[in-house]
Amino acid sequence: MARPAEDFTMNENNTSLTSRRDFIKQTGTLAAVSALAGVAIPHVHAASTDTIQIALIGCGGRGSGAAANALSVNNGPTKLVAMADVFENRLRGSVSNLKRQHADKMDVPPDRQFVGLDGYKKAMDCLKPGDVAIFATPPAFRWVHFAYAIEKGLHVFMEKPVTVDGPTSKRMFELGEKASAKNLKVGVGLMSRHSRALQEMVNRIHDGQIGDIILQRGYRMHGPVGFFSSPPKPAGISDLMYQIQRFHSFLWASGGNFSDFYIHIIDHCGWMKNAWPIRAQALGGRHYRQSPEGVTYVDQNFDTYAVEYTYPDGTKFVFNGRCMTGCYDNFSSYIHGTKGSGIGSKSGDCGFPSSLFKGQLPRSADRIWESPVIPGEQDPYQNEWNDLMAAIRNDKPYNEVKRGVEASLVTSMGRMAAHTGREVTFEEMLECPHEMAPGLDKITADSPAPLVADANGRYPVPQPGFVTEREY
């Protein structure tokens, strides 16, 4: 059974609400909440003159970008003091790049540059309570790193997605509550929520300027990017490290390209609707198993996806994704109401300008609003850091975990519908017992990989209609 509609509405601050009954069912935190009654919540924040120290865990492009944004916040002194990655070349490259941009805010000597699967602990051990840890590793490790940060009393910025399956989603719901109980501030890298253009657009939609929403459309269709596809594992690297290195290719590590690439548009469409979809049906397939040069692909991704999400009131959100060269490209989002329509993202995850129209055609003559240029606030990646650091320094409530987990679950729901050939509800996604990579809190470089290749070096792939209770 799908959850009732009231479990998927959002309040005026765009924070999703879950019923008390289901929240207790999901997280098992009733005893913890009761124990906190009457207990003073500790202050874990920095005054405007205090230096906030930062540790970066996961030094790829997104992690380096997040660190640069953190060091660019101008509401008080910050310093990057520790970095960690499982690949030494990524760590060294990130150190070099960040030094070129922020040498005066870098204090990361070699003895605070950590390589290995346990590097996250060593990096966070360099911080004091009230400092900030950045998590930009593959999403499968999110709950492991977050649990340690809470233990250490650290504020956190974590990249999306934050979960890829049901068991880890339940775990993250509970960890989010623990962070709030310790007065820790947590940002999640769904930067569309910090786009000033989308914020104003959402307010106008919620005020009824285009009437009741009757349809949403989202698209991310372009050629292969990131580690969308992977050839057989080469010699000289273990299965585990190969799967971590090329995490977009493997469902356990990232939710595949569906979760990693598509979550932003799925998230901001739910925000516009002021609800989460409660079920999904989907199509998907792999058209090419070899490159034009004849290299066999061994990853788990489909290269086309088409999902129909249904909201509690019966309205639809359709999402189309494609990673294929030489096809029509479209990377945008649209919303249709009873009185008009809108373009959420013109190009990209949240690309300017956002617009509203009095009809269903996006014609200039029918435009009733277009997002203005706001000097200093055009970059949503920087805005999300400005907002997080302001909450830390001013000791304001700030925890995006619950919404981040819900967005991740809705994304996974569409992915699982395509991979199984079944209609999947939000409840079924949350309650699916298949944890794709259990035991990641105890993993070492010598541990077996969560996926095992066959004799031809190929990994398990989804088989819609044949494998229907799990994705592979």
> Rounded to whole angstroms, how far apart are CA atoms 426 and 100?
45
pLDDT of residue 288: 83
At the fourth CATH level, which superfamily is domain 5-192+382-399? NAD(P)-binding Rossmann-like Domain (3.40.50.720)
Q: Is the pLDDT of residue 385 over 90?
A: yes
CA–centroid distance for 236 within its chain:
31
Q: Which runs of consecutive H residues, i.e. helices, occur in 346-462?
A: 380-394, 401-420, 426-431
| Helix axes 88-102 and 61-72, enclosed angle (nearest 10) | 30
Q: Where in the chain is the domain with CATH 3.30.360.10?
A: 195-377+409-425
> Rounded to whole angstroms, how far apart are CA atoms 307 and 321?
9
Q: 333-363, pLDDT tens digit by residue?
A: 999 999 999 999 999 999 999 999 999 999 9
Q: Report how far apart, in Å, the C-alpha atoms of 83 and of each of 96, 107, 137, 143, 292 are.
A: 12, 10, 12, 19, 39
Q: Is the pLDDT of residue 441 over 70?
A: yes
Q: Where in the chain is the domain with CATH 3.40.50.720?
A: 5-192+382-399
Pick the CATH number of 195-377+409-425 from 3.30.360.10, 3.40.309.10, 3.40.190.90, 3.40.50.460: 3.30.360.10
Q: Is the peptide bond before 161 cis (omega within 30 degrees of 0)?
A: yes
Residue pointed to by tokens 């000033």: 196
Give backbone dihedrals phi and psi of 63, rounded to 5 degrees, phi first. Answer: -65, -45
DSSP, res 154: -
pLDDT of residue 41: 56
User: Measured at the alpha carbon of residue 369, what is the angle toward residues 368 and 371, in degrees to the nearest 5?
Assistant: 165
For residue 366, give the nearest of 342, 332, 395 by alpha carbon.
342
For residue 338, how many C-alpha atoms fall within 13 Å in the half-sphere facing its CB? 5
Q: 125-174, pLDDT tens digit by residue?
A: 999 999 999 999 999 999 999 999 999 999 999 999 999 999 999 999 99
Which residues neighbour 271 within 8 Å (Cβ) at sequence distance 6 or greater? 10, 14, 192, 193, 198, 202
DSSP, res 365: G
Arithmetic mean of pLDDT over the chain:
91
Which residues neighbour 40 within 8 Å (Cβ) at sequence distance 6 or greater? none
Q: Do residues 206 and 273 touch, judged by C-beta distance below 8 A? A: no
Torsion 73-77-81-82 (CA) sign: negative
> Rounded to whole angstroms, how far apart are CA atoms 252 and 420?
16
Q: 396-410, pLDDT tens digit by residue?
A: 999 999 999 999 999
